[in-house]
Structures are given as structure tokens and as C-alpha cells.
Chains A and B, each alone.
Chain A
């Protein structure tokens, strides 16, 4: 009888321990699911990260035969042009933009623009959250500028079900009347975004610097 009681007690304790252990496992699994980050896919060209540029170099916008450009400067312009991937990206054209209204309204440029095309290049899913890769071409007709501004953008936009949360720019070209702003990003598989900024005028291209953003952190911060 004494042995039977001890056996039952051991069995009870071990069952209880097993249950506790199961609870923990469930907790761990739940926690992992809640914190699960997006599995980012490489986007853009790794050259964005690896190519070095001087602060500025000369260009010959008007193909002036009297203007001599150094070979070194021609090479930098060639490298700069090689970073561009906007025209290589194509996706599903979205004609009904209503789902993206909040994304558009929260974008300082798009909200002022006439959007000529909006395409969905890709998407990432984690639980109820989705990140859309959105490519837009748009025009701003403003009295502040003597001709329409042409804007080409690619953004990552985070949505929680149908609610827009926030976005980050991967690529942007804004063509002003006498200059052009060019920001080009490269996103690696780990979710690190390398983002280089340039400005182009009639005589020179200016390299304005690089920034690095961890999207795993960016998209979890409020």
C-alpha cells in the first residue's frame, strides 16, 4: 500500500511537471509567433552598398562638345546610372487604389500628386500584418514650379489587415525643372536597408551620403 501511494505520488508529480513543461512550450511558441518578423527578400542592387562615390563629379547634361569631362567623372556617372533599377521592376497594376488611400494620404509627395500608375511588386506576410512593395509614377502640377515634377517611387508599406501603419522609401527620383533628386536603396535578406542619396543638376552629380536602417526594428517601432 505504502509503495502504491509513493508510485501514485511520483506519477502525479511527473504528470504535473510534464503539464508545466507543455504550458511553457505553448508560451514559447506563442511568443515566437507574436514576435515573428518578416522574412525580407533582397531588393535592389547590392552595388548601392558597395560602390563608393566622391562628394561630386562633373557631367555633361547638354552634350556640349566644348566641355571636357574627365574619364574618372564619366566612370562615376556610369556607376551611378548602374545603381538604378526602377525600370527593371514590374508588378501587378492596381487600377482601384482605394485600399492604398491612407498610404497615399500619408506620403508627403504622393498626396500632392496625380498618380499615373501604381503597381504591386511583391508582398510579405506575418500573422495579420502585410508589407507591400508599391511602385508609383506620378506628377505634381504646382504653381511653385514652372513645369510639372515627375516622381518615381518604390516604397515598402506596412498594413495590419486593411489598416495602413507606416512606410519606408526604397527608391525615389524627383525630377525638378533644373535638378533631380535621386535616392536609391538596397534591401538585403536580413532586412537591412542601405539608402544612398544623390542630387543632379546641369553640371554635376552630388553624392549626399548613405544611411542604414534595420527594418526589423523600423516596422516594430510605433
Chain B
């Protein structure tokens, strides 16, 4: 995925940056979802810790293998809920929050490992349309 995006047209803003991560690869369906989420939210400060490395692994994690999920740094609670809802709207079915975080709707407890970031993964079947030109 690009190192960053900063697209703006009329009232749509699609913007993200990476943290200091080297996991800068992601499955194309998950990138499409993420761009949809960003466009829906219009936030200008979304930071992602990415998904997986170029060889499709995500060591020492096992959950991001083949780019089937993406992590984002938490925003303030109000905007975080909007981001979570947007992921949900675009078909993400598994979102994990930290034990110490607010019990956001559409999320479940991902333990202490998710106190620093939100985990979003597993797109529901049929949500992605592949358009061949």
C-alpha cells in the first residue's frame, strides 16, 4: 500500500500515514475497505501500523498474515467510534479493542495487546466487488 495517502476533492478527504512500521503491505480487498473507511470519516489524522511484510508474514504476530487485517492507532473516543462504524459498514466483521479502552460498539475485547491500537479484520463474504476493465 502507498506510504501515505492525501486525496481531497470537494468534501471528501482520504488521508492516512504510517507509524514507524515496516508492515507496509496489505491485501487489495483490505486496502479498498480502508480507503472506503477513510472517505466516509474524512479524518485527517488516521495513523496505521499496517498489516504485513512484503513476504506476506507479520512476525511475531500471526493474525495479519496475507494482509487480512489492518491496525490503526486510537483516535479520541467519539471519532474512534465513527471509524469503527465505518469499518463495520464496509464489511469488517472482527474489530478488537484493548482491555483498557472504552467498550466501543462493534468491537470485542482483544486483551492488553490492543490497548495501543484497534485491530480490524475479516471482510464478510460478498462485500468486495472486483471490477475488471
A interface residues, Cβ below 8 angstroms from B: 59, 61-63, 81, 84, 86-87, 141-143, 145-150, 152, 173, 175, 177-180, 182, 200-202
A138 to chain B, nearest CB (A): 12
Told that A150-B116, A177-B116 touch, could you supply 10 new A-B pairs with CB distance under 8 A?
A61-B110, A61-B111, A62-B110, A63-B108, A87-B100, A146-B19, A146-B49, A147-B116, A175-B98, A182-B112
What CA separation (Å) do A63 and B110 show in the bound complex? 7
What CA separation (Å) do A62 and B68 show in the bound complex? 13
Tell me if B73 counts as interface (CB < 8 A to partner A): yes
B interface residues, Cβ below 8 angstroms from A: 19-23, 49-50, 60-63, 71, 73, 94, 96, 98-100, 108-117, 119
B109 to chain A, nearest CB (A): 8
Nearest-neighbor residue (CB-CB) of B23 within chain A = A146
B97 to chain A, nearest CB (A): 11
A207 to chain B, nearest CB (A): 14
A-B complex: 10 closest residue pairs judged by Cβ atoms: A146-B21, A180-B112, A147-B49, A175-B116, A175-B115, A150-B116, A147-B19, A61-B111, A178-B60, A62-B63
Main secondary structure of the interface of A (DSSP, over half): loop
* Contact among B19, B71, B113, B117 with A179 in the assembled complex (CB-CB below 8 Å): B113
What CA separation (Å) do A146 and B22 show in the bound complex? 7
Contacts of A150 in B (CB 8 A): 115-116
Nearest-neighbor residue (CB-CB) of A150 within chain B = B116
Contacts of B98 in A (CB 8 A): 175
What CA separation (Å) do A56 and B113 show in the bound complex? 16
Contacts of A200 in B (CB 8 A): 111-113
B73-A148 in contact (CB<8A):
yes
What CA separation (Å) do A59 and B71 show in the bound complex? 20
Contacts of B110 in A (CB 8 A): 61-63
Contacts of A179 in B (CB 8 A): 113
Contacts of B61 in A (CB 8 A): 178, 202
B126 to chain A, nearest CB (A): 20
What CA separation (Å) do A200 and B116 show in the bound complex? 14
Nearest-neighbor residue (CB-CB) of A149 within chain B = B116
Nearest-neighbor residue (CB-CB) of B109 within chain A = A63
B116-A148 in contact (CB<8A):
yes
A147-B100 in contact (CB<8A):
no
29 inter-chain pairs at a CB distance below 8 angstroms, sorted by A residue, are A59-B111, A61-B96, A61-B111, A62-B63, A62-B119, A63-B94, A63-B96, A63-B108, A63-B109, A81-B99, A86-B100, A143-B20, A146-B19, A146-B23, A147-B21, A147-B73, A147-B116, A148-B19, A148-B73, A148-B116, A150-B115, A173-B112, A173-B115, A175-B116, A178-B113, A179-B113, A201-B113, A202-B62, A202-B113
Contacts of B117 in A (CB 8 A): 147
Contacts of A201 in B (CB 8 A): 60, 113
Contacts of B49 in A (CB 8 A): 146-147, 177
What CA separation (Å) do A149 and B116 show in the bound complex? 7
Nearest-neighbor residue (CB-CB) of B19 within chain A = A147
What CA separation (Å) do A142 and B108 show in the bound complex? 28
* Contact among B20, B96, B111, B112 with A147 in the assembled complex (CB-CB below 8 Å): B20
Nearest-neighbor residue (CB-CB) of A137 within chain B = B100
